[in-house]
Structure 1
Amino acid sequence: MTIHNIASQNSVLNTFISELRDITIQKDSMRFRRNIERIGEILGYEMSKTFDYKEQTITTPLGKSTTPLIDNDIVLCSILRAGVPLHNGLLNYFDTAENAFISAYRHHLKEPESFEIVVEYLACPDLEGKTLILADPMIATGQSLLATFEALKPFGTPKNIHLAAVIGAQEGLDFVSEHFPEHTHLWISAVDPALDSKGYIVPGLGDAGDLAFGKKLQH
């Protein structure tokens, strides 16, 4: 798997990441969602540089212009619920993409530090020969991404696979690299060094779903 860490080069992306992490700024849920959306736009722009292009002739009021345009059939899939703002940011740039949605959440077992990933809802178009963009803002253990990918397999084999994330732990990135196809590309805006005993990213930013949409009742 090829990992593209966008934060390896300083840019305005640093501002959006710092605001997502800041415990005072992140209390504004609308701003939190918007910052994730803006990061999705940046990841989408960088990702687009690797796509296929085909020249098309455009008629203007004064003549004709030949322009290379994206020639990929894109399916954008986000993991509910935290993935929705990231999905929106990517969709702002790939506005003709087909869309898929899947629920994947941690079901905690008897031991407080153990859990399994449960997938309960899935809506997806045909993936055969298409470019799949799988969006999940936080890659902690990487198990949610793998469970989602396994659930999508009955819908066909994509030609290209791109993963889009805001923050990931190195352990999660190693897990994803081991279990996804070799030609997969991961686009991420920050890589953190560790997970805590409950499997949350450190320093991370907290629970992205709760910060974006409010606290939930635990299963």
Structure 2
Amino acid sequence: MTIGRGVIRGHAVTLRRFLVTFARDFRDGLALRRRGGGGLLVDLFRGPARGEERVVVQDATTEGLFTVEYPDERLPVYERFRVLPVLVYDDEDGNVRCTSCNICAKVCPPQCIWMVQAKSPKGTVVPLPEDFFIDMDVCMNCGLCAEYCPFDAIKMDQNFELANSERHQTHVFGLQDLLVSSAYYAQTHPEAWSGPEEVAERAKVAKKKDRRLQKALGVEA
């Protein structure tokens, strides 16, 4: 009898959540909108446009079904959520923070980062990357490269929708694929951007940017 009561109680909880889900959708005006399925050939209800997907927050107060109908519904992306590294450049002058010091490649556990250091017209090595590569299929999203970067040039991005039908070339990200503006990083990581460490790093980069540019152009100080 104890086992029978447990089964009945479980079905009752499931039925309650099922009914509460419909009541919640009617209350929020979502009863006549499609929830899930992605792009359909025949769609009686308008699906959400890109960037207009409903964000579903699940916590201890959540009632109803716990299914998130991705991609029409999404879980919130929090600031510390990390996927692949990106390289930050400053909006003011377009200078890339990376100095091609190779520290990120050395500390990378799966060794998925490699780069080519730039040279001046005189043939001397300058602290700028001519090219920068990350194999996203090998990257383990650990964030060590961003943690050890002395110039805060490499950061962890939140974009997780990277799947495609070809993996041998398109999954190796080059310099132009990895570059993001400082405004983009400030928007996705507002707390880190306004933190004291990031503010101090921006001041340090601002002091050195003119000297780095002169060296890259082969101009004597």
| TM-score (ref. length: structure 2) | 0.22
Structure number having the greater strand percentage: 1
Q: Choose between structure 1 and 2 for higher RCO, CA contacts under 8 A separated by at least 6 residues.
A: 1
| TM-score (ref. length: structure 1) | 0.22
